[in-house]
Structure 1
Amino acid sequence: MGEASVAINPAAVAAKHKLATSFKRKGIVIALLSGLLYGFYTAFMTLGMSKGIWVDWYGENSGLSAFAVMYLLSAIGAATTDTCSALWAMSFAGIRGRFADFVRCIKTKPGMVMVAAAIVGGPLASTAYVVGLQLAGSLVVPIAALCPAVGAILGRFLFKQELNARMLFGIAICFGASFMIGSTSLDGAGGPNMMLGLFFGFLAAVCWGIEGCVCGYGTSMIDPEIGITIRQVTAGFSNLFILVPLFGFIAHVDAFGMVVQSFTDSEAMIWFVLAGLSAYLTFMYWYKGNAMCGAALGMSCNGTFSFWGPFCCWIVLGIAMGMEGWAMPPIAWAAAIIMVIGIFIISMNPMDLFKSNEEKA
């Protein structure tokens, strides 16, 4: 009985290789786009908080306490953006006929895990991020980008995930870059609240790192598009109905009335709508890019928001809108780029790129 032989068509192999390479490249572009959109989310949200009723709230004659100005307004800004993002997510789910899947999945155990993670990454991280932006400007963005490094450390202790020498080296690079950014406050260039702002940026990184670790479980069992909808809806509504009322109660302010004013101020709301869309697309493209080019490479590409965040703020707020305080010193730009390299090293072994090219050659 003769052995069957299968003829390999070189043209078919070459076509398959070309298709796989093209698919991976598209995934890289999409993942990079997620990092860019995160920058626009930051810029548009900050712009919204400088228009309309927000000018009165931040004014000297607003009658608001220092606590309300720093924490309540930041919570309202984050809640307005996250709620807009949640409405975008539900709208797209409805258009694609996935809303019933969203309702069904949110009741499951993985869905509840996503809800818990979103509460940490929504009200807590988003508000801390906004507080940091108000105190320290765009320098906070690269500090918040430490979340992959924080997530890698937390994953080692919470889930016994691998933390090898290469990842530790990448983490050291990221934290070294953060110290470079922090050093800009030593000469008073960042203002008196710089260090406090950077602290809140780091707090946001810790919360997002926790969210990333926990959501890894949820998204392994839920369709990414549904998982993103659960995340955005939970983050938006928990911020709106838990954190804002809490801060309003502490500050003895009518938080409900302020929320109504925020959502009905057309001058500011257009920017919050754009910020919410950018936030939704950031997560969408992040998950889609990960699926097309691999989670490690996708995470590295998304981590470029440590550069794109300050860049978009500088372009939109500093140049287009003529707002002062959004230019970064050269050392901070260098640190943002170094942090991108550190995130890349944490996420994957750079030598794997060369190995894959050699194997395909």
Structure 2
Amino acid sequence: MNEVSGAASAQAVAAKKKLSSSFFKKGITVAILSGMCYGLYSAFMTLGMLKGVWGNSLYAGFSAGGTVLSLFVMTYMLGALGSALNDTISGVWCIIIAAAKGKLGDFFRSLKTKPGAVMIAAALIGGPIASTAYVVALQMAGSIIIPITALCPAIGAILGRVLFKQTLNFRMMCGVAVCVLASVMIGSTGMSAEAPEGLMLGICIAFIAALGWGIEGCVAGYGTSMIDSEIGITIRQCTSGLTNMIILVPLWGVLSGGGVGLAGELIANVWTDMPSLIFFIASGFFSVYAYSLWYKGNSMCGAALGMACNGAYSFWGPFFCWIVIGVFDGQEGWNLAPIAWAAAVVMIIGILLIAMNPMDLFRKKEA
């Protein structure tokens, strides 16, 4: 009887280990997919901001009520507008998905809770500030800024140490140093004669996006520990999109001298321009999974490894911009210099060092 019981117990333990291993590997796959979705979202959004009214009117000096957009407004106001359009459409996708899964009631209930308020705060940091900076940097310097925004895990590690007294050991500091080295490699392309005119300023603005997302990651960690990840992402995208659309874009309109009327006309133009809107619908869809799969992957294989796998978007971003804009749409200038591709790989190594001890991969294998 004892032998039978012992055999059954051994089989149960073996089955549990096999299930845990499968769950862990699936989590890694999910986290990697989140990085790929981030690259696709970046590529389709960038393409959308090159099509239709964006390319034919807005960037050419769109006139509304006698006000012609200056370079200042084109750079920042249209960056906010692109981010607002993407995140609002992403929020609509989130609501559709939540409704299809019967979670819409949970969404409205969560808005009234403390974790829901935390997610709203995280969205305000990551949306109007970081996402807009990301779009502006992307328009000014191209996909080369994507590896720089992947510094957010490094910034998150430092902020976690300062704000929450979390561990920042020698290995993690080495990872931060490697990420800085990669950023220097990327910045060195600004010395090239073929570099875009706004490249260096775009790189500086990309650091703002990395800082904002690093702060968002610290703040949102608390909220998502008590809210379903899909509900958390719905709160995040809806808050970010509506705040950008209702507050930030009109604010830029006032600062430009065109007033709220200018912002209203621009918003109406981009929402009714199907040649570009179709690409924003695609970018909004991939944006949903860029964020939701990140949180899901973290919960399945651990936040450290999930963050490292997601950080591979520093490669997937330039890669899909090249595929979607360069190859699919046939636009020139989206190929990256070899040093930029090498820097993306170095950045991934740095993020991996911050997120986990690489030796743990071998220890898990041995176990």
With normalisation by structure 2, the TM-score equals: 0.94
Return the match for 1:283 from 285, 291, 300.
Answer: 291
Letter in 2 for 1:17: K
- The equivalent of 1:8 in structure 2 is 7
- The equivalent of 1:333 in structure 2 is 341
Instruction: Give, in angstroms, the shift of residue 85 of structure 1.
Output: 0.5
Question: What is the CA RMSD across the aligned residues, in angstroms?
Answer: 1.6
Per-residue CA deviation, residues 304-347 of structure 1 (Å, 9 max, x unaligned), is: 00000000001111111111221110000000011111111111
For 2:148 and 2:306, the matched residues in 1 are separated by 20
- The equivalent of 1:343 in structure 2 is 351
Instruction: Give, in angstroms, the shift of residue 12 of structure 1.
Output: 4.1
Alignment of 1:85-234 (within 5 A): 85-234=90-239
Say whether the 8 Å CA contact 2:61–2:70 is kept in structure 1. no
- The equivalent of 2:59 in structure 1 is 58
Instruction: Give, in angstroms, the shift of residue 246 of structure 1.
Output: 0.4
For 1:166 and 1:8, the matched residues in 2 are separated by 42
Distance 1:350 1:246, change over 3 A: same
Letter in 1 for 2:17: H
Say whether the 8 Å CA contact 2:149–2:207 is kept in structure 1. yes
Name structure 2 gaps, 5 residues minimum: none
For 2:287 and 2:341, the matched residues in 1 are separated by 23
Letter in 1 for 2:38: Y
For 1:212 and 1:309, the matched residues in 2 are separated by 20
Say whether the 8 Å CA contact 2:156–2:218 is kept in structure 1. yes
Per-residue CA deviation, residues 117-148 of structure 1 (Å, 9 max, x unaligned), is: 11010011111011101111011100111000
Alignment of 1:67-82 (within 5 A): 67-82=72-87
For these two proteins, the number of residue pairs brought into alignment is 357
- The equivalent of 2:35 in structure 1 is 35
Return the match for 1:262 from 270, 276, 299.
Answer: 270
Q: Is 1:49 aligned to 2:57, yes or no?
A: no
Letter in 1 for 2:18: K
Letter in 2 for 1:29: T
Letter in 1 for 2:156: G
Per-residue CA deviation, residues 17-38 of structure 1 (Å, 9 max, x unaligned), is: 3322222222111111100010
Name structure 1 gaps, 5 residues minimum: none
Identity percentage of aligned residues = 56
With normalisation by structure 1, the TM-score equals: 0.95
Q: Indicate the SS of the match to 1:59.
A: helix
